[in-house]
Structure 1
Amino acid sequence: MADLEELKKKYKFHEETLSYFKLRAEAGFGSYPNAPSMEAARNINLQVTQKFAGEITFEGSTKEFTVPSPYVPDGIPVTVYQSNNCSLVVAPSIFVFFHGGGNVVGSRQTCDVICKLFSREAPCVVVNVEYRLGPEHRFPASNQDANSVVRWVSMNKSLLGGVNDSTIGVGGHSAGGRLAAVVSQQLWDFIDYQVLIYPNVDYRKLYSSQKEFEDFPGLSKEMTQWFCNNYIKDCDKETALASPILNEKFNQLPPALFILAEFDVLKDACYAYHEKLQQAGIRSQVFCVKGVTHGFFHLPGHFKETCQRAHEKVWKFIKANS
């Protein structure tokens, strides 16, 4: 257990991380648990993204679809990005992406920039998912939505800009990474690869990084507890649907790429999950970005150098599995 100043004595911090915390504090962004309402907490998440994600040039189409679901009468909204670069490949992969936010905050809007980057650079078709959030829709609502979207994508490749031979990948960061891991277990025969960006793969919090970084401002113990209180019951945490590391079989899962942050309570659980995949004979690789905090990946406007390195790993992985 250590705060920021204590950790500075042990680790080398990337300047982008230090300036991020400084600028965030100066902007007066509060913490989610202390927000006066759920709407206010979600607005903090959006404001942080708007300040630090930046903007990119995107040439191509951006379309809105509604995915039918037995769990959602009005369907699940998704945004589909198809860059002009997709025409350069015979069978562009379709990459389904789930935003982060502890299953409580976050939205498609917070991943708009990185989804455009994926589509432009991989190149691939990207499906950005607006899954249901707690406390209005508690566990396993977001899992149900992820499952529904992947099934729909598999049946509508040509509608989205792909072809019959297009591979399907899933990915997400933080809570979205957990959804990608779980849906890869449920629908392993639909999915060709998974990109897990500092995912929460174990709600039990058994690992040393959980204690070491619990007071760190990136993803603190207070914040993770607030997410849990608003999304999941304690009795559900020890199921594979919530904690994918508890799954009994790993040998049928698709190849995986983990993108991790050095300063993250979730880091050691991700390494443990990676090892389970490797032990089962699954191709799995880890890229841990030194000196950065949980939450950096979707903020390339600020984390320019570190995001560039991490994003390039994802683009290359998608290309290799297309």
Structure 2
Amino acid sequence: MSFDKFKPKYKIHEETENYFKLRAEAGAKPYDQLTVEEAREGNIANAKRFAGTTEFEGTVKEFTVPTKHCSDGIPITVYRSKHCDLCVAPSVFVYFHGGGNVVGSRQTVDTICRIFSRDAPCVVVNVEYRLAPEHRWPANHEDATCVVRWVKMNKSLLGAVNRSTVGVGGDGEGSRMAAIVCHEVPDLGYQVLVYPSVDLRRNYKSAEEFAEMPGLTKKMVDWFTEKYIDEPDITNPKASPILQKSFSGLPPALIILAELDQNRDQGYAYHEKLKAAGVKSQIFTVKGVTHGFFHLPGHFKECCLRAHEKVCKFIKANS
């Protein structure tokens, strides 16, 4: 798989080309050619190799959010940078990792959660929601909504204060959960949607154009979708939030897109839905990158720096 067919129209960032070259040399396979367990192990190994580490001074604590949906509760990791001490009311940013609803974990986004807590600064809540195929839709949606409601009631426990804003965000399918939560939970401060998957119908020009794009192919999307949700449920507004009847009153949004991504055009479409409803929404497209770069700042140094700076500035402005 190469970028040759895309180069006449797009300039591929050197970080993108080098990333897929390194993966190819390591013998990495697309998820649709793996078992679920192999895919999960590969996803974690990829994050260990490319996410990097970052300086962080502060506290990292584990909590379990009680829920009626599973007896063990929902594990979360809470990051509170020492810089939060300088804030009168540090915001709480609830983050949902990506991974097609099948792979991914708190571990894969640990580095970026530390970056956001340090540089915004804010308290970050990293959520270990249930995954498919063991837990199909709407399990992760239930977990996401439960965690955000619990966070709103327990700000001081997490190192914030009662008047701290609570915002939500995520990448890929994690951003879909964040978007859904905004329709379910009132009075949220902001939403950060990174290459959002807000329409599981995926009938967009970019989905066709990038069906064979390294990083997220149509075969991979179909593999994830089949394991996650029954086809009739795809058009449920609680699965595809772009189909919600109303967008008025939703919190301000920052939408970050990858130029070479199947999800790109549905991100633009969601942005337009928000604006049409009078919601403040801004969009930032990172040129020359594919789906999946955002949580890997150890490799995508330049591309991630620009995107992460946008996120931290946005959180600060809405705290």
TM-score range, shorter chain: over 0.9
Q: Segments of 4+ in structure 1 off by > 4 A?
A: none
Q: Between the two proteins, what is the percent identity of the paired residues?
A: 62
1:319 equivalent to 2:288? Answer no
The C-alpha deviation readout for 1:11-49, integer Å capped at 9, x for no partner, is: 1111000001101111112221111x3211100101111
**Whole-Å Cα distance in 2 between the matches of residues 228 and 72 of structure 1?**
23
Name 1:99's counterpart in structure 2: 97
Aligned-residue offset at 1:231: 0.4
Name 1:155's counterpart in structure 2: 153
Say if 1:197 and 1:260, in contact at 8 Å, map to a contact too: yes
The C-alpha deviation readout for 1:217-272, integer Å capped at 9, x for no partner, is: 11100000000011001000001111100000001110000010000001001101
SS at match of 1:230: helix
Aligned-residue offset at 1:3: 6.2
1:258 equivalent to 2:240? Answer no
Aligned-residue offset at 1:61: 0.4
**Whole-Å Cα distance in 1 between the matches of residues 131 and 6 of structure 2?**
33
The C-alpha deviation readout for 1:273-314, integer Å capped at 9, x for no partner, is: 100100100000000000011100000000000100000000
**Whole-Å Cα distance in 2 between the matches of residues 44 and 241 of structure 1?**
29
**Whole-Å Cα distance in 2 between the matches of residues 109 and 3 of structure 1?**
29
The C-alpha deviation readout for 1:50-80, integer Å capped at 9, x for no partner, is: 1110111111000000000111111000000
**Whole-Å Cα distance in 1 between the matches of residues 2 and 177 of structure 2?**
29
**Whole-Å Cα distance in 2 between the matches of residues 310 and 174 of structure 1?**
14
TM-score normalised by length of structure 1:
0.98
**Whole-Å Cα distance in 2 between the matches of residues 11 and 38 of structure 1?**
33
Aligned-residue offset at 1:190: 3.5
Name 2:108's counterpart in structure 1: 110
- Taking the TM superposition and a 5 Å limit, the aligned residue runs for 1:131-280 are 131-187=129-185, 189-280=186-277
Q: Residue type matched to 1:75 in 2?
A: G
Say if 1:3 and 1:215, in contact at 8 Å, map to a contact too: no
**Whole-Å Cα distance in 1 between the matches of residues 32 and 243 of structure 2?**
28
- Taking the TM superposition and a 5 Å limit, the aligned residue runs for 1:18-57 are 18-35=17-34, 37-57=35-55
SS at match of 1:237: helix
Name 1:65's counterpart in structure 2: 63
Say if 2:155 and 2:162, in contact at 8 Å, map to a contact too: yes
Q: Residue type matched to 1:314 in 2?
A: V
Say if 1:16 and 1:303, in contact at 8 Å, map to a contact too: yes
SS at match of 2:40: helix
Name 1:6's counterpart in structure 2: 5
Which one is further off, 116-125 or 25-34? 25-34
**Whole-Å Cα distance in 1 between the matches of residues 26 and 158 of structure 2?**
39
TM-score normalised by length of structure 2:
0.99
Say if 1:175 and 1:200, in contact at 8 Å, map to a contact too: yes
Name 2:281's counterpart in structure 1: 284
**Whole-Å Cα distance in 2 between the matches of residues 101 and 160 of structure 1?**
26
Task: Please list every run of 5 or more consecutive structure 1 residues that lacks an aligned counterpart in the other structure.
Answer: none
Say if 2:89 and 2:161, in contact at 8 Å, map to a contact too: yes
SS at match of 2:167: strand
Q: Residue type matched to 1:127 in 2?
A: V
Name 1:85's counterpart in structure 2: 83
